[in-house]
Amino acid sequence: MPLLNSPFAELDLIRQPEQANDPLQAFDAADEYLLEHLAAQALPASARVLVLNDSFGALAISLRAQVEVISSGDSFLARLGLEKNLPRNGQPFDSVPFVPASEPWQGPFDYVLVRVPKTLALLEEQLIRLQGQLAPGARVVAGAMIKHLPRAAGDLLERYIGPMQASLAQKKARLLVATFEDRPRLASPYPSRYRLDQPALELVNHANVFCREGLDIGTRAFLPHLPRDLGAARVADLGCGNGILAIASALDNPRAHYTLVDESYMAVQSAEENWRAALGAREVEIRAADGLAGQAADSLDVVLCNPPFHQQQVVGDFLAWRMFQQAREALVTGGSLYIVGNRHLGYHTKLARLFRGVEQVAATPKFVVLRARK
């Protein structure tokens, strides 16, 4: 894989999760452009720089030896990439502090470098949280590949930070440079909420939760067909989002034990709040994680999953396939994985390569609900 060369460092970086012969690299031209821009500012070593949404540590690791840098984002996999790429480049794994998107920062910051995320609501929430965290004269510089840079990103910078200027394009990347202007603070519209009729719940959804404004149609197809009569089964909601699958299942299975995992810190935060609102002090484990990678083998009876089909702007079934493999490893013999997926994705065939039996539980014109038995 190519090295990231910048005015600050030469780095050997890997993506997360790792896969053999990965055709994608762990940085792009927007990372290079952001680092070149910052190098031209000649910041003093005492400067405090906040890096937001650094995919796998390209920005934070480059800057670590030059300024005080703090990294923050909503991805557990990005955090894992940072912690693996630091020692890969001769630095202690914990030498760059990481603040999950669900937790506050401690400013003030002199400079903020932002990789524009796929979900603009996350960018808006991050810019809102920068209010009161910026030093006088601070700049917020957002970067992205042009094909992934919506016009609204610049509008958000102007609204929450100050006057914004777009850079010239460089290697199909562009920067948006905003200069902090002290203004009256604006309130955040997040988290958002919506109500369900069945089960009768109001769900809290923090800014980066998938389908934040309403129940996604895949989950809607899945809910009526969740397994019942589970007794004291050990159940995991894999890629839990706001937790609705586990919560609905738990309401019907009062003796079952639940684990909810997601790689988004804001999803985990939403799931925790929704679980408590629906189920009070009922015991549960909810964690940000690389799927079921940390789950003991043969420790689950049932896994529920509405698998994702993208990682940021990268679309494909790699993450879903990996989740199926993790579920098989964690399930006891005879345990079951229940999933919902678009018909055209052909999950039935993929699951049949891992599980001894795959059956269709239900179907709509667009979705299928499948049960795979180990």
- 82-104 confidence digits (pLDDT tens): 999 999 999 999 999 999 999 99
Does residue 161 surpass a pLDDT of 80? yes
Residue 219 neighbours by CB under 8 Å, 6+ apart? 211, 241, 244, 245, 306, 340
Average pLDDT in the chain: 94
Confidence band of 320 (pLDDT split at 50, 70, 90): confident
Structure token digits, residue 37: 């821009």
Residue 313 confidence (pLDDT): 47
Cα-only R_g, the chain: 22
d(CA 139, CA 40): 13
Structure token digits, residue 154: 């610049």
- Give SS3 for 1: coil
Does residue 309 surpass a pLDDT of 70? no
- The backbone region for 29, taken as left when phi is positive above 0, alpha when psi lies in -120 to 50, beta otherwise, is alpha
Sign of CA dihedral 328, 330, 332, 336: negative
Residue 343 neighbours by CB under 8 Å, 6+ apart? 363, 366, 367, 368
User: How much of the chain, in percent, has pLDDT values that exceed 90?
Assistant: 85
Residue 211 confidence (pLDDT): 83
* Cβ–Cβ < 8 Å for 308, 239: yes
Structure token digits, residue 246: 């586990």
Over residues 213-259, the pLDDT tens digits come to 888 899 999 999 999 999 999 999 999 999 999 999 999 999 999 99
What are phi and psi for residue 137, nearest 5 degrees?
80, 5
Residue 316 confidence (pLDDT): 52
Structure token digits, residue 115: 């990789």
Average pLDDT value for residue range 358-366: 93
Does residue 318 surpass a pLDDT of 90? no
Amino acid at 276: R
Residue 311 confidence (pLDDT): 46
Written as one string, the DSSP assignment of 152-192 is: HHHHHHHHHT--EEEPPPBTTEEEEEEE-----------SE
| Domains of the chain with bracketed CATH | 4-179 (3.40.50.150), 192-373 (3.40.50.150)
* Cβ–Cβ < 8 Å for 347, 339: yes
Q: Note every long-range contact of 212-221, with CB atoms under 8 Å and residues 24 or more positions apart, other chains counting.
A: 212/121, 215/244, 216/306, 217/366, 217/367, 218/306, 218/340, 218/341, 218/342, 218/367, 219/244, 219/245, 219/306, 219/340, 221/340, 221/362, 221/364, 221/366, 221/367, 221/369
What are phi and psi for residue 2, nearest 5 degrees?
-65, 155
- pTM (two decimals): 0.94
* Cβ–Cβ < 8 Å for 291, 300: no
Average pLDDT value for residue range 329-336: 98
d(CA 274, CA 137): 40
Confidence band of 314 (pLDDT split at 50, 70, 90): very low
Written as one string, the DSSP assignment of 100-124 is: ETTS-----EEEEEEEPPS-HHHHH
Average pLDDT value for residue range 13-35: 90
Residue 206 confidence (pLDDT): 97
Over residues 39-83, the pLDDT tens digits come to 999 899 999 999 999 999 999 999 999 999 999 999 999 999 999
Does residue 315 surpass a pLDDT of 90? no
Please tell me which residue, 309 or 298, carries the higher pLDDT value.
Answer: 298
Report the range of poorest mean pLDDT among 30-34, 84-88, 217-221, 325-329: 217-221
Q: How far apart are the first and last CA of the chain?
A: 37
d(CA 325, CA 247): 24
